[in-house]
Amino acid sequence: MKRVLFVATVVKKHIMEFHIPYLKMFKESGWETYVAAKNDYENPDDCRIPYCDYYFDIPFERFPLKFNNIRSCHLLKRIVDGNQFDIIHCHTPVGAMITRFAGVSARKRGTSIIYTAHGFHFFKGAPFLNWLVYFPVEWLCSFMTDMLITINKEDFVFAQKHLHAKNIKYVPGVGIDFSKFNIHHINAKEIREKFGIPDDKIWVLSVGELIPRKNHKRLIQAIADIPQIYLTIAGEGVYKEELESVIHHLSIGDRVRLLGYRTDIPELCEAADFFAFPSLQEGLPVALMEAMACGKAVVCGRIRGNTDLIDSQGGILFDPKDIEDIKNALLTISCQDRQRMGVHNAQMVKKFDIVRIMKQMKRIYGLEK
């Protein structure tokens, strides 16, 4: 029986979010499926991965120079050398770096190593430290890569010029399941009332992990001076207390709410007036694509990945480091035909349908000619 190993830094926030359809695809093709990733559930017993035959809890750290990653490399090497994998597909910078070092011997025995870069940490405008730490690692590891997959056009062009994987492909993301969106049967008035949003006010939804890179702080500061806008942010993370402090300091707790982790994002998207995505760095953001699938107009940062998705007909792009620019974008879209923008976005995002992406991945995996 053929074997495939999926590797990522964490389970809950990566494997479970993006890769279950692909594990299912391999299972249905008769393969034995393995996953190696850190168990990041608050209750470790909640870690149950569908379509996974064998799971290995590897203590990856998100920053590559952490000592624990040396131990992770040793653990992963034992797993890789102890099983004859036909394919190892690695994701996330640290998980992929360690996998490729651990898989050197396996490649000599015929294992194919695939790496999907969900957005290089080095990019136009990235901090010098990002280039200093991440580019040399990616450059070296590219020699140990059979297939490098990039999910946005900027990374694809860069990889073709500067990296050395045997093959480099552009695949537009992991795909989104359209059956979860465009539901239209929700009671928007009831949802608004639950969050205390008056009928005559504008409800803006944002979705993302509460970390500095997602840039929610500037979005909150921009909204502080726009009394007609109410903001809800769905997500959890280490920046929660900092954002709560900002909200309290600005005295806008009646208009800005942190919702925590949510399983009803499609319903929230349908009910909200438009979607805001202030992130400083992305690969190809799934949250943004899901908002588009719900037919929402968008305001978002003018950054790599976002510009693959949003044009002037579907939303307004802003400088994510400029609070005044964010504020102007919010004010401008509040006065525009958001329904027309949403219709445009719903049409544009269809090319990222998971059915189309999975067909492309099947050919890459060799499961379909």
Q: What is the pLDDT of residues 86-107, one digit of tens each?
A: 999 999 999 999 999 999 999 9
Q: What is the mean pLDDT of residues 332-339?
A: 94
Q: What angle do CA 69, 73, 77 make, to 5 degrees?
A: 170
Q: Give pLDDT tens digits for 248-268.
A: 999 999 999 999 999 899 999
Q: For the chain, give the mean pLDDT.
A: 94
What does DSSP assign to residue 258? E
Cβ count near 9 (within 10 Å): 24
- Is residue 153 pLDDT above 80, yes or no? yes
Average pLDDT (296-301) is: 97
Q: Which range has the worst mean pLDDT, 139-143, 186-190, 336-340?
A: 186-190
pLDDT of 177 above 80: yes
> Which residue, chain included where needed, has tokens 């109410």?
230
Please give the Cα distance from 152 to 250 (Å, whole number). 37
Q: Which residues contact 108 (CB under 8 A, 6 or more apart)?
A: none
pLDDT of 332 over the 70 cut? yes
Model confidence pLDDT, tens digit, residues 360-369: 999 999 997 6
DSSP characters for 76-136? HHHHHHHS--SEEEEESHHHHHHHHHHTHHHHHTT-EEEEEESS-S--TT--HHHHHHHHH
Residue 62: the pLDDT is 81
- Order of strands across the sheet that contains 167-170: 54-57, 32-38, 3-10, 87-91, 112-117, 147-150, 167-170
pLDDT at 289: 95
CA distance 343 to 341: 5
Q: H/E element holding 230?
A: strand 229-234
Q: Give yes or no for residue 201 having a pLDDT over 90.
A: yes
Confidence label for 82 from pLDDT (cuts 50, 70 and 90): very high
